[in-house]
Amino acid sequence: MSEAVMSASGLSKSYGKGDRWIEVLNSLDLTVGRGESVAVIGDSGVGKSTLLHILGGLDRPDAGSMHCCGRDVLSLDGAALASFRNRVIGFVFQFHYLLPEFTALENVAIPARIAGEGDGEERARLMLERLGLADRWNHYPAELSGGEQQRVAIARAVARDPSLVLADEPTGNLDPGTGAAVFELLLEIQAESSFGLVLATHSGRLARGCDRTLRLRKGKLEEITAGEISRFFDGTPSPDGQFGPG
């Protein structure tokens, strides 16, 4: 593997109260190399979003350690954590979460403005052009198609040249053709920028497009083969019974 951009060890997370607790992550380990794309698959509700939120510093584990770009992420809090996220990590979600009162250009420039790096519009324009939106930068989200909105969200995630991008079902709200096109653009930008990518997905096509695919099961990640990916998404049981319906 190339140089590790992110390394997590022993991550555990449970939710609940009283005597009713659900263990979501159980001493989970994950390392992502620079320029590597990793797909995380699993049944609905298994904890994929929880994992990405923890990796991105949006949530904290109950136990474990996590380092990104040489920094102990779990030692950061408040303004220091917010600054680190803004500078190092990009997020793409299933729903674009664009601010409706701002244009596409303004939405992409927001991270740079928050960081106090001027208006960020020059870099924002470059990313929008790279994603085929050169003629849409002055449009508001409501004036864009679903695919265009998600491309704006990707531009926002990568505009500050992050080291790690976390994508939680980034094409789940799009039709298959549009979703595939958006995913290919994301991979093209990754190839140019060499950031690490962790992608949570319910799409076999997207999973097969990544360098590695891991299944989240019983709180841990297990690497699976191309054949196992197909069995998981086709609902066909494997000989050991690990894959197949729900």
Q: Looking at the domain covering 4-234, what would its CATH class be?
A: alpha beta
Strands 89-93 and 71-72: unpaired
Q: Phi first, then psi: what are they for 144, rounded to 5°?
A: -110, 150
Q: Residue 63: which pLDDT band, with cuts at 50, 70 and 90?
A: very high
- Tell me what percent of the residues of the chain surpass a pLDDT of 70: 93
User: What average pLDDT score do residues 182-188 get?
Assistant: 87
Polymer length of the chain: 246
Q: Would you say residue 236 has pLDDT above 70?
A: no
143, 67 Cβ separation under 8 angstroms = no
Q: How far apart are CA 142 and CA 96, in angstroms?
A: 12
Tokens standing for residue 176: 């298959």
Q: What angle do CA 98, 185, 94 make, to 5 degrees?
A: 40
Give the pLDDT of residue 68: 94
- CA distances (Å), origin 101, targets 10, 96, 173: 42, 14, 21
Give the pLDDT of residue 104: 94
- CA distances (Å), origin 224, targets 12, 99, 130, 144, 242: 22, 38, 33, 37, 11
pLDDT tens digits along 9-47: 999 999 887 778 888 999 999 999 999 999 999 988 889
Average of per-residue pLDDT values in the chain: 87
Give the pLDDT of residue 51: 95
The full set of domain ranges for the chain reads: 4-234
Measured over the CA atoms of residue 81, residue 106, residue 51 and residue 197, the dihedral's sign is negative
154-47-229-150 Cα dihedral, nearest 10 degrees: -20
Specify which residues 223 forms β-bridges with.
214
- Is the overall model pTM greater than 0.85, yes or no? yes
Instruction: Give buried/exposed letters for 7-42 (b at 16+ CB in 10 A, else e).
Output: ebeebebeeeeeeeeeebbeebebebbbbbbbbbbb
Q: Phi first, then psi: what are they for 184, rounded to 5°?
A: -60, -40
139, 103 Cβ separation under 8 angstroms = yes
Q: Residue 244: which pLDDT band, with cuts at 50, 70 and 90?
A: very low
Q: Residue 237: which pLDDT band, with cuts at 50, 70 and 90?
A: very low
pLDDT tens digits along 112-137: 887 777 667 888 888 898 888 889 98
User: What average pLDDT score do residues 149-154 get?
Assistant: 90
Helical (H) or strand (E) element with 179: helix 176-193
Q: How far apart are CA 46 and CA 219, in angstroms?
A: 8
| Range list of β-strands (E), 111-225 | 164-168, 196-200, 212-217, 220-223
